[in-house]
Each structure stands twice: as structure tokens, then as C-alpha cells.
Amino acid sequence: MRIVAFGDIHMSSGEIRNIPGIETADLIILNGDLTNYGTRHDAKRILNEILSVNLSVLALIGNLDNFEINDYLDELDLNLHGQARLFQEKVCLIGIGGSNITPFRTPTEFSEDELATIGEQAYSQGLEFKMLSESLHNSRIPVILVSHAPPHGTLLDRLRNGRHVGSRAIRTIIEKHQPDLCIAGHIHEGKGVDTIGRTTVINPGMFRQGGWIDIRINTSYIEATLQ
């Protein structure tokens, strides 16, 4: 299975056709900030451009997406925010959209307690899916946490001045559950790869600058590469 993941699109999805083999990827994950303070109309434009390339898409909102975009993703049955998805019985996806509180009062921000509640509820649902599938198929199902906000205190949440501004709740969730992979974003200058325990965490940066993640799943093993 091949998954392509990117976020921080900000109304600029033209780079998608530069991703090798994007048309045949099993899944595309969009990790928030589809728009710039946009509405469902703006999200529809971006999603239509991406769906014209590959119809297998899941997405969540970022802090710069108005919350009505979350409802639009629900209507399209593409939403990951606050949800768990067992994709093709091969990988469990856990989604946490929006961000922790910023100084800029962007449209979709949550307190750390709210992020923790959203994440734990989605994880509880995901673990049920995972355990049931593993018992039926007698094979391990890997887990990918899709979080727009990066975990606090990593290479991926540092501003240019060195200050860490990621989510403490997201970090706690990773430390507790140790997903195989966490896809993060939000902090454009935080593009890179880090680890928390056994979890690889990747922030691909802004999409219009060409950043994306190539994910390969072979049985229970995940290999993720920052491009």
C-alpha cells in the first residue's frame, strides 16, 4: 500500500501533479490548512482539484480553515478530524485537526484539554477497530496519527527564533499510545523528521514549496519518507 500525505496547502494545490505516481496512490491524506481563513466554497475548489487526480482522499481541517469546512468534509465522507478510520483493513488512521491556541485567533483553535479529549476519543474508536481487525485477520494493524498541530518540544514545532509552539496534548497522546507514525504540520519552518519514543513524526512543511510524505505499508511495517 502507498499513501501520499501533505498539508498546509493554503489554496495552492498545483504541486500535486509533480508527485510521482500520485494518480495510482492508494490514498492521499490532506493534513489541514486547505485554505486561508476559507469557507466550504474555497475547500471545494481545492478538493475538486485533488480529486480530479485521485479519488481516494481523506482530510482534516487546520487552524486556518473555518469550521464549516469540517462539516463539508463530513458531507463528503472524507473527514478525519476527531475520527478513526480503518483503511482497507491495513492501517488505522487517527485524526486531530485544528491547532492549539495561537496569538492570532485563527478560525479553528482548541485548548490543550480540548485537543486531548478529541484525540483520546478518536484513539478509543481506532483501537476498537484495530483490535477487531487484528483478531479477524491475525495480523498487526499499524497506526498513523494525523495531527495538524505538531507535538511540543520537537524539531517540528520550532519557530525561527527557536521557540517551541506545538501542542503538549498531541505530544502526550504520542507518548501514551506510540503510533507507528505521526503526520504533523502547521509550523511551516518546522519541516523535518523527529522521533518520540518509537514514533516517527514528520512535518512536510508548506505544500507549495514541494513538501510531502511518501508512506509505504508492507503488512504491519510502515516506511515513511519526507520528500
pLDDT tens, position by position, 2-57:
999 999 999 999 999 999 999 999 999 999 999 999 999 999 999 999 999 999 99
Q: What length is written for the chain?
A: 227
Q: What is residue 188's predicted lDDT score, i.e. its pLDDT?
A: 97
Helix axes 68-75, 40-51, angle to 10 degrees: 40
Per-residue pLDDT for 212 more than 90? yes
For the chain, which residues make up each domain, given as ranges?
2-226
Type of residue at 219: T
Q: What is the pTM (predicted TM-score) of this model?
A: 0.97
Q: What is the mean pLDDT of residues 50-79?
A: 98
Contacts of 163 (CB under 8 A, 6+ apart): none
**Class of the CATH-defined domain 2-226:** alpha beta
